[in-house]
């Protein structure tokens, strides 16, 4: 006669991913993970890619500044924007990108 099988138990393990960027760590802790990156479409002029990446960087910086409590665009000078870029781990922005960050903060209201 065969023995009845005993119920099996499964254990799951959780892995923690550490990043060097403070913003990603706090967002992951808050339960909202960053979106998966997709490749950019091929066949566009180089200027399109430069502008697109500048807009993405400006949006990241504007979100980081707003999260840190910088709401009036006048308080977001180039020095503060570049310090925030260093804090979140992106290359220092150009003057044009800094202007774009202030515009995003201004018109996002």
> Which tens digits make up the pLDDT trace of 73-87?
888 899 999 999 999
What are the backbone angles phi and psi of residue 43, rounded to the nearest 5°?
90, 5
**Band (5; pLDDT cuts 50, 70, 90):** low
Cα 26 to Cα 99: distance, rounded to the nearest angstrom: 26
The answer to whether 23 and 62 have CB atoms below 8 angstroms apart is: no
pLDDT in tens, 19-53: 444 444 444 444 456 678 788 889 999 999 999 99
**10 pLDDT more than 90:** no
Residue 10: CB atoms within 10 A of its CB come to 4
**62 vs 21, more confident:** 62
**15 pLDDT more than 70:** no
Confidence (pLDDT) at 17? 45
Q: Which helix (H) or strand (E) holds 28?
A: helix 22-30
* Closest to 91 (Cα-Cα) out of 63, 62, 54, 52: 54
């Amino acid at each position: 006669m065969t023995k009845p099988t005993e119920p099996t138990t499964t254990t799951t393990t959780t892995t923690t991913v550490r990043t060097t960027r403070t913003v990603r760590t706090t967002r992951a802790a808050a339960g909202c993970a960053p979106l998966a990156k997709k490749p950019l479409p091929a066949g566009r002029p180089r200027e399109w890619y430069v502008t697109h990446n500048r807009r993405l960087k400006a949006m990241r910086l504007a979100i980081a500044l707003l999260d840190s409590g910088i709401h009036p665009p006048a308080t977001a000078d180039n020095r503060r924007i570049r310090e925030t870029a260093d804090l979140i781990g992106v290359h220092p922005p150009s003057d044009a990108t800094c202007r774009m960050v202030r515009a995003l903060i201004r018109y996002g209201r």
